[in-house]
Amino acid sequence: MKSNFQFLNLLGTVYSQGNVLFTPLSTLPDGSTTESLMSPVGNRISVFDLVNNRSRTLPLQTRKNIARISLSPDGRILVVVDEDGKVLLVAPTRPQTPVLHHFNLKSPVGAVEFSRDGKFIAFSTEALVHVYNTPNILMREFAPWRLHRTYAGHSGEVNGVTWSGDDKFFLSFGTDLTAKLFSLQPVEDFRPKTFAGHRDSVIGAWFGGRSQDSIYTVSRDGALFIWGGKQDETTVEDEERLQKDPQNRLGHTRWGILQRHYFNQPNTKVTSAAFYEKGNLLVVGFGSGVFSLWELPSSTSVGNDITSIHTLSISNERISSVAINSTGQWLAFGAQKLGQLLVWEWQSQSYILKQQAHAHQSSSSISHSSITHLSYSSTSQQIATSGSDGKVKLWSTQSGFCFVTFSEHSASVTGVEFAKRGQIIFSASLDGTVRGWDLVRYRNFRTFTSPTERPVQFNCLAVDQSGELVVAGSNDTYEIFFWSVQSGKLLDILTGHTGPVSSLAFSPVGNTLASGSWDKSVRIWDVVGRSRAVEPISMNSDVLAVSYRPDGRELAVATLDGQIAFFEEETGRQTGIIDGRRDISGGRSIHDGLTAQNNAGGKAFNSLSYSGDGTLLLAGGNSKYVCLYDIRESTLLRKFTISENLSLDGTEEMLDSRRVNSAGINVDALDNHEDDSDAGDRLAGSKTLPGVMGGDLSKRKWKPTIRTSCIRFAPDGRGWAAASTEGLLLYSNEDLVTFDPFDLSLDLTPQSTFETLANKEYLKALCMAMRLNEETLVTRVFEGIPTTEIRFVVGNLPLGSAGANGSETGYYLRKLMELLVKRIDKGPHLESDLRWIIEILERHGTMLRGRSGGDGSDWAGVLRGLARGMTEVQKTVSTLCEDNINTLEYLIDQSIVHERSRMDIDTSA
């Protein structure tokens, strides 16, 4: 089993805070165009391909949550700024997305904006605007960040910066109720222009009009001012300056307010705005979740007025960010509290993208994922997640999108499981119900409840291998309930535990059920036999998780003291133990008085998962680490750090003494009452305290703690998933190494491989390509082998060691099968691939049957992937055949009707 897992993608969370932006329109090699949306998710960035319907997460992390991002006009440079003002310069189009340069502005950044030509970058920190020359990404520089100039003039924080069309001027606007016009280069007789008159903070300012002869400013109170040159106040000196220096017309114009407009939305304020210059379109987002689309006049004449295109409500929470794509057809919205991301096509009035994460039901100003449990489908193509918001979501591992959301539960959902057969999932909730969901019709087809009048809170769930039995453990009555899926009736109630039932697991091969409880015991129940035998196993601490090995012969138990114990399923004898408290320990909370090394007492594993071959065990819990163990050697193979985000509590190993005040309290643990957005949220919230007439001022910020609530290995063995504070993290061991130099020689090159293929030495060419282990090379050689040579190549494929350096037995065969698994999933050459698979099974089926993965190779994952691909092919072909049969029957019936009508006409004639 491979253990070289690396981060692949982030699901479950689509937006957290900051600004969203569209990438430039690009052309693919096939001639089609594509456009993507970038969204900050914690300290990572997710990219959503809106044309191909896929998402990916860039392989980079900032130190804290991302505050602002900005993309150069050509899309080659991405600037990422976190909450502390630390800047990363990234090349998003390059492989592996390298970080080119680092920079520290040493204070929070309010805005980042590239100039139109991409040569300058403007940063705003507090009341200042810093303009830097864009670093060169083609060569290494000793000092890449060169300050062009710092601009002062605002008396409050700067909210944003907008460049003019010729990049000679830019507008800055902020909380001092004004916008200011600055020049990039010194201009003779020019002084910065001030645009005053608003009664609230200015959140947007843009150049507009036919030749940028007007300026638009929008404030939080919903006021839109249109500024233009006042001809009646123009002096002779102004005209002389314009004639002398016409290229700097914006700086020599005497500006004044020409029109005032107000967006009438009661009891709310403007929270975000965006302007599309080519179409004079203005999008305004409000704190009530409503957005308005307006068309502004192209001329500043007195008779021209703004036109409302439409107004739409997308949620009940404030819209944090708005963006418009390069064609002006798509509008992107980000809702911070809901973790919601939407793309709206305003002309057709339809959604291009509509995604929302599991969100905490709290007053936190930043939405963090609240996934409580996850489960893989048998094909590893789908993941079901449950959340504390009472929702069950289904995610596609291929596209990264959520395609189904079930919201019938009225309380936190504590468990979710796929049935091993059929398109069914089950979920348990604290609302006292266990529900079954049909994934064909997308409906709730079964609801299981307890027989008592008072609802029982279910906090764990298990489904047997046949999918006929559903079991749930209670949190308050300490009982285990059995239901029949077919009839929906309660079959039995198992009693014996004296504490809350924390975990349940069915044996993969037998009819036994293992249950773990806080009463420091594990019980193994014979749920099908008449004897109803129970085997109690006493533990030294509270049981948090139980998991069966895939062959059903071993049971792993995680306890509160940080240990993992292993028991034989038949005899109940303990076969091993792993003390993982020191392995999972790490990360110091802001309230901890102990160091991270000495604070391991509260660290424990709450989720366990076996690999497909049963040799590896994955364990996660209330820590920033996920541990991967070799069960036979009882050793720690790897520790995965699920997040390096210092905005989360528990990620720092050492606390900064400079952040501790004179009272000995960490300032990060204090609530910042002066934060405008937080105060506005409290005042705009629901009235929960008696006597409060203007909102709930008791709402406070809180800092979420990094932890892992559930982990699972993928059934095909290619990866695993972890439900963490920041979302659903996917790890994979696919396509991680493109070059594996084993058994090589000087004459083994791609050119020599192609020459061997041209000489029709197909077996030798295939082996040479697999030795080089370059995917494109192997694919070209594989597709160059004629179908008539498949039997010979498969029959003579070397099965011994591929090299003298200890390469594993059957290397070429496994590589060939891995290639077929990838091709059968998305390749067009179905008939040829099926011929290869048939020959492999006929020639080497006996050897594959004896492979159990005990030699460390990934045969189990390859075979599962092959079975999954064949199942998908069977479904596709059967569906196509049924459609063709129906079409042929229809055509035959129509021909009969036509023949009868023709005979009737002939008879009447």
180-201: b or e for each residue (b if 16 or more CB lie within 10 Å)?
A: bbbbbeebeebeebebebbeeb
128: which DSSP letter? Answer: E
- Nearest partner of 389 among 351, 427, 332, 334, judged by Cα: 427
pLDDT of residue 768 exceeding 80? yes
Tell me what pLDDT residue 155 has: 92
Mean pLDDT of 646-663: 75
What DSSP string runs through 224-290? EEEEEE-GGG--HHHHHHHHH-GGGHHHH--EEEEEEEE---TT--EEEEEEETTTTEEEEEETTSE
Q: 13-53, pLDDT tens digit by residue? A: 999 999 999 998 876 544 557 789 999 999 999 999 998 88
- Nearest partner of 785 among 820, 734, 818, judged by Cα: 820
Tell me what pLDDT residue 1 has: 54
Tell me what pLDDT residue 778 has: 87
Pick from 3-12, 396-405, 590-599, 856-865: least confident: 590-599
Assessment of whether the complete model's pTM goes beyond 0.85: no
Tell me what pLDDT residue 740 has: 43
pLDDT of residue 639 exceeding 60? yes
Q: 556-567, pLDDT tens digit by residue? A: 999 998 899 999
Determine the 3-state secondary structure of 680 from DSSP: helix
Using CA atoms of 754, 759, 760, 766 in order, give the dihedral in degrees to the nearest 10. Answer: -30
Report helix angle 762-772 to 775-783, nearest 10.
170
Distance of CA 401 to the CA centre of its chain: 8
Q: Which of 148-157, 230-239, 595-604 has the highest mean pLDDT?
A: 148-157
Q: 229-243, pLDDT tens digit by residue? A: 875 555 666 666 666
Pick from 73-87, 355-369, 861-875: least confident: 355-369
Local confidence band at 272 (pLDDT 50, 70, 90 cut-offs): very high
Contact between 769 and 778 (Cβ < 8 Å): yes
What's the half-sphere exposure (Cβ side, CA atoms, 13 Å) at 737? 13
- % residues pLDDT > 90 (the chain): 42
* Residue 491 token pair: 């079959």
Helix (H) or strand (E) holding 194: strand 193-195
Tell me what pLDDT residue 858 has: 54
CA gap 765, 751 in Å, rounded? 11
pLDDT of residue 138 exceeding 90? no
CA gap 584, 618 in Å, rounded? 12
Helix (H) or strand (E) holding 216: strand 214-219
CATH of 369-495, one of 2.130.10.10, 3.40.50.720, 3.30.750.24, 3.30.1600.10: 2.130.10.10
- Nearest partner of 68 among 121, 146, 120, 118, judged by Cα: 121
Q: 701-723, pLDDT tens digit by residue? A: 567 888 899 999 998 888 999 99
State the chain's mean pLDDT as an integer: 83
801: which DSSP letter? Answer: B
Helix and strand counts by DSSP (H, E) for the chain = 11, 58
Sign for the pseudo-dihedral over CA of 653, 656, 659, 660: positive
pLDDT of residue 595 exceeding 70? no
Local confidence band at 476 (pLDDT 50, 70, 90 cut-offs): confident
pLDDT of residue 653 exceeding 60? yes
Tell me what pLDDT residue 792 has: 85
Tell me what pLDDT residue 22 has: 94
In the chain, where are the structural domains located? 165-221+223-261, 369-495, 750-876
pLDDT of residue 148 exceeding 90? yes
